[in-house]
A and B are shown apart, each in its own frame.
Chain A
């Protein structure tokens, strides 16, 4: 992996976390507004956003954690 790819992938991580949590919370707020069910969907959305964030970060960092794991998986 070239240094460029490494740098660009790491640059993407931070905003990805923010973006996924934001998406979850905004979707939850919207659903709560629609269904008048606050705060259930906000909490669900927040958790879903956090799960996406962790999964996405894991996927983005996987290539940096040594390729052994990758080869086992494939």
Chain B
């Protein structure tokens, strides 16, 4: 039987939907900032247009708790935690052998994550790194996707200082949260490295003075040629160790700015698109932001995993 219409809908429905979309798009094009700058003011009702956004990088302070400023991004992060805990509680309270739809969805998601960990880090290490990597992944992705819920950033309240601030703001768009996550990832990577090799052997990766002192010994004993060439290698070793330590610090910065930049950029992009063309055009960008939220979460978790794998693999034999 030949298929009628598109995607299982009959042709009149498809044509009707496309017509509505087209009309909405034209109206939004005319009423947005783009249209009014191209065609002048057409006298359309003002509720059709969106005011120009003024994105601010520091998060707004909602209230103070024991002297600490509680910002809207912290509240959003708490909300993600509540959502994650709530979902896990609701699903695991009554685990069934034949899973319900939600349970099987979460099971397959976690199974995929565990597979991913074991793919990258090997079976044993993958299981060991899984809790931290999965937590980072789930937290980042929940933060990103929660802030995409329509109306998330539009609840305004007045704080004690009389400023009007948003109650929620995407937690990833406040640089303190990516920084905190990057520090957590850094600390765990170092911890695993130290646990695998013992403190002194792990530190040798960064403070590599063995060759240097050995060749000084050779020089003292009068073996001049071997001593001098060894001394040179020793100095290079020390320098490489310093570079290794510094690149460990750079990782924190690159982790932080990657997440912060991508999320903040995405938020501002959505706001600006909505300002230029209010209705239809923002939808593809919404899809893009959903994808970016997933990819950033995967990158944050995955890079933690890769660096942890490198840290527990021996320096010289590392081929992964």
Chain A positions within 8 Å of B, measured between CB atoms, are 1-2, 4-5, 8-9, 11-12, 15-16, 18-20, 22-23, 48, 51-52, 55-56, 59, 63, 67, 70, 73-74
Check B116 against A67 for contact (C-beta < 8 Å). no
Knowing that A5-B320, A20-B253 are A-B contacts, what are 17 other residue pairs whose CB atoms are under 8 Å apart, sorted by A's residue number?
A4-B116, A4-B120, A5-B119, A5-B306, A8-B299, A8-B302, A8-B306, A11-B302, A15-B257, A19-B257, A20-B250, A22-B253, A23-B250, A48-B246, A52-B243, A55-B247, A67-B319
CB of B126 to closest CB in A, whole Å? 11
Confirm or deny: B238 has a beta carbon within 8 angstroms of a beta carbon on chain A.
no
Confirm or deny: B303 has a beta carbon within 8 angstroms of a beta carbon on chain A.
yes
Check A16 against B243 for contact (C-beta < 8 Å). no
Q: Which residues of A contact B258 (CB under 8 A)?
A: 15
Confirm or deny: B161 has a beta carbon within 8 angstroms of a beta carbon on chain A.
no
Q: Which residues of B contact A22 (CB under 8 A)?
A: 253, 257
Can you show 11 pairs from A to B with CB atoms below 8 A apart?
A: A1-B319, A2-B119, A4-B116, A8-B305, A11-B303, A12-B254, A15-B258, A19-B251, A48-B246, A63-B319, A73-B316
Q: Mark B218-246, 1 if CB is under 8 A from A, else 0.
A: 00000000000000000000001001001
CB of A55 to closest CB in B, whole Å? 5
Check B316 against A56 for contact (C-beta < 8 Å). no
Q: Given A15-B254, A15-B257, decide whether A51 and B243 contact each other with a Cβ distance below 8 A.
A: yes
Determine the residue in chain A with the shortest Cβ distance to B249: A23
Among A18, A63, A73, which residue has its beta carbon within 8 angstroms of that of B257?
A: A18
Check A4 against B302 for contact (C-beta < 8 Å). yes
Check B320 against A52 for contact (C-beta < 8 Å). no
Q: Which residues of B contact A9 (CB under 8 A)?
A: 306
Please measure, in the bound complex, the distance between the C-alpha atom of A19 and the C-alpha atom of B255, giving whole angstroms.
9
